[in-house]
Amino acid sequence: EDQVTQSPEALRLQEGESSSLNCSYTVSGLRGLFWYRQDPGKGPEFLFTLYSAGEEKEKERLKATLTKKESFLHITAPKPEDSATYLCAVQAVNDYKLSFGAGTTVTVRA
Amino acid sequence: EPEVTQTPSHQVTQMGQEVILRCVPISNHLYFYWYRQILGQKVEFLVSFYNNEISEKSEIFDDQFSVERPDGSNFTLKIRSTKLEDSAMYFCATLGTGGASGANVLTFGAGSRLTVL
């Protein structure tokens, strides 16, 4: 069974204070690792897909990286609008469904 | 940008009542999913639907749940006899054709919040 573990559960940052979120995973053949952003009471919003170890993707202040066992989401100089829950999910080669981790809730204070 | 539309946004029902949650997928998407998120917990897979039949379902998706695509556009989740523990956000997600890079991203709707009293 696919397993996704995210840490920390919660992260409180001062505006401009960079940090990283971790996602460790086990999957029977990885098709892709996904990062989504979820705001309170809303659906997950797609950020990135990573397909192979060593791959990196960037979007504004966010950068995602992938190894064979884990992924990191780096937040550089965050702003209050980056406050959200960040979800990591894996997709196996034999399937398109996503298996999610519990998420990391990031709060950025001005 | 194309989006997945879900109705209702919030439904309150009495325990034992039937509920139908509706989803309008992105046009020409072929794979459809329902997920559930109980408050404070992770997003959990319920069921996947492709080519007018269920392709996979989780342990959560027991006999009280059913899905269908009644008119070729809407995709529905029916809960026959709701229980208190069915209270959650229910998300519909759709996928294009799969395969090529970028085509395997699930797009989620805003969700339907179900409250069972």
Specify whether the CB–CB gap between A80 and A17 falls below 8 A. no
Determine what percent of chain B is predicted with pLDDT higher than 70: 94
Specify the pLDDT at position B70: 81
**Residues in Cβ contact with A13 at an 8 Å cutoff, skipping those fewer than 6 apart:** A19, A75, A78, A106, A107, A108, A109
Specify whether the CB–CB gap between B44 and B91 falls below 8 A. no
Give the chain A residue whose CA is nearest to the CA of B6.
A43
Give the chain A residue whose CA is nearest to the CA of B50.
A96
* End-to-end C-alpha distance for chain A, whole angstroms: 41
In tens, the pLDDT along B1-39 reads 778 999 999 999 999 999 999 999 988 888 999 999 999
Beta carbons of A44 and B45 less than 8 Å apart: no
Average pLDDT over residues B49-53: 91
Give me the torsion for CA of A59, B106, B9, A101, rounded to 10°. Answer: -70
Euclidean distance between CA atoms B6 and A10, whole angstroms: 29
- Is B45 near chain A, with CB under 8 Å? yes
Specify the pLDDT at position B1: 75
Residue with tokens 């959650």: B88
Token digits of residue A33 = 């690792």
Specify the pLDDT at position B38: 96
Average pLDDT over residues B78-91: 97
- Is it the case that residue B100 has pLDDT exceeding 70? no
Picking from A36, A7, A37, the residue whose alpha carbon sits closest to that of residue A23 is: A7
Contacts of B107 in chain A (CB under 8 A): 46
In the predicted model, what is the mean pLDDT of chain B? 92
Strand residues in A39-103 grouped as ranges (E): 45-50, 56-59, 62-66, 70-75, 84-92, 99-100
Better-scored residue on pLDDT, B73 or A64: A64
Please give, rounded to a whole number of angstroms, the shortest distance from the CA of B50 to a CA of chain A: 11
Question: Which stretches in chain A have pLDDT values below 50?
Answer: none
Total CB pairs under 8 A between chain A and B: 54
Specify whether the CB–CB gap between A48 and A64 falls below 8 A. yes
Specify the pLDDT at position B98: 52
Give the chain A residue whose CA is nearest to the CA of B111.
A43
- Is it the case that residue B102 has pLDDT exceeding 80? no
CA atoms within 13 A on the CB side of A97: 22
